[in-house]
Structure 1
Amino acid sequence: MAFSTLKPDRERGFLDGQFLIAMPGMSDGNFSRAVVYICAHSAAGAMGFIINRSQPVKFADILLHLNLIDQNDAIMLPHETRDFPIQCGGPVETGRGFVLHSDDYLSDSSIPVSDDISLTATLDIVRAISDGRGPRKATMLLGYAGWGPGQLEAEIARNGWLNCPASEDLIFDRSLDGKYERALALIGISPATLSAEAGHA
């Protein structure tokens, strides 16, 4: 599913606002031990963001690249702005930035994903974050994960993914270490048990 198909007035699919948690046997290296937050799911496909992959790019690098600040401004950025989290959202369009955020910030281009979480992929939110006017909770992701019609359903049927309702706290948790285990804990599963069960598939 292309990002452009994610529209505010879309019908919400049954996986919208859910986590996908990769099973140990996941063959696609892009999704090994991945936790994916699904933003849109329909007959046309699905799209979402991996929320537990680090990204070497810093927020100041993004601001410099977009010519929103110069090198002198970068040095003067407040600590919380410099440390704003940037993650690898998935293997599609990795040069594109998306911001998942709490619904206390909305612009004309913001798209509601759930009752509490929105997605904005335009410069206005990057400017707002750099000026300290951004949302209360947010994370920037470079790239996204996308599936064509029926592709994700087929992967779930092959035991590639577990799914469960998403946790806002986990989406915006800046500690990526152990996020996979914490996602599994939401459905009462430990990785050790999961590995053992996968071995008997």
Structure 2
Amino acid sequence: MTQTLPSYLKHHFLLAMPHMEDPRFAHTLIYLCEHNEEGAMGLVINRPSGLNLGDVLEQTSPELSVPLEVGGRTVFNGGPVQSERGFVLHRGPQQWESSLNLGPLQLTTSRDILVDMSRGQGPSESFVALGYAGWEAGQLERELVDNVWLSCPADYRILFEVDAEQRLEAAARSLGIDLNLLTSQTGHA
């Protein structure tokens, strides 16, 4: 008997199903940065926090002079875990002090990327969030079986080019789905 390896969803989007009961995740689109036998970690990419990058830099680096085009960039609520911690998801070959190479993207948590961004030397495509979403080993798999999430391969155009309020619908369209037509009822045949 051959054993099949689990299928992990790193570099996928998770789309909250319409019946999502957890208000922290209702109507969210999550980019999964990591998913393996130990659990999963992702960033909610469609919930603006009400803060912009200038607000964050004013708190972390008040000595910096931040140009309006940089300071006005939206900072997102990446999830309920460590909501005071910043994450920059970005493209680009340059590694900052604390960057994790995710393959097609990098995830940086060090202050130096924010300093470079304020100077116009940061990555050309980036997404900034406070906090993240996390799942223990097997938890995300159970939620997928329970029909809490839909998943699809990540489309980086949605992440970097589509307005936040349109990202969930754009990801659903990539699956050929209109979330407004899905029922909030679940069941098993």
Q: Which residue of 2 aligns with 1:4?
A: none
Q: Does 1:59 align with 2:45?
A: no
Task: Tell me whether 1:199 sits opposite 2:185 in the alignment.
Answer: yes
The separation in 1 between residues aligned to 2:161 and 2:185, in whole angstroms, is 31
Query: Whole-Å Cα distance in 2 between the matches of residues 138 and 104 of structure 1?
Result: 13
Match of 2:94 in 1: 105
RMSD value, Cα? 1.6
1:89 to 75, 78, 83: 78
Aligned length: 181
Structure with the bigger percentage of strand: 2
Partner residue of 1:152 out of 118, 121, 140: 140
Secondary structure of the residue aligned to 1:178 is helix
CA displacement 1:100-153 (0-9 Å, x = unmatched):
001243224211223x21100001101110110000100110000000111110
What is the distance in 2 between the residues matched to 1:189 and 1:151? Answer: 25
Cα separation, 1, equivalents of 2:93 and 2:71: 21
Question: For 2:174 and 2:53, how far apart are their aligned partners in 1?
Answer: 30
Call closer, same or farther: CA 1:176–1:82 in 2, change over 3 Å.
same
How far is 1:174 from its partner? 5.7
Tell me which protein shows more helix as a share of its residues.
1
Instruction: Pick one of 27, 35, 39 that aligns with 1:33.
Output: 27
Of stretches 93-102 and 166-175 in structure 1, the one that deviates more from structure 2 is: 166-175
- Structure 2 distance, partners of 1:142, 1:182, is 23
Sequence identity, in percent?
A: 36
Quick check: 1:14 aligned with 2:8? yes
Unaligned runs of 5+ in 2: 1-6
Gap regions ≥5 residues in structure 1: 1-12
Instruction: Give the ranges of 4+ consecutive aligned residues of structure 1 lying more than 6 Å apart after TM superposition.
Output: none
The question of whether the paired residues in 1 share the 8 Å contact of 2:86 and 2:130 is answered with: yes
The Cα offsets for residues 10-63 of structure 1, whole Å up to 9 and x where unpaired, read as xxx721100010111111111101100001111111100000001111211111
TM-score by length of 1: 0.84
* 1:141 is the counterpart of 2:161: no
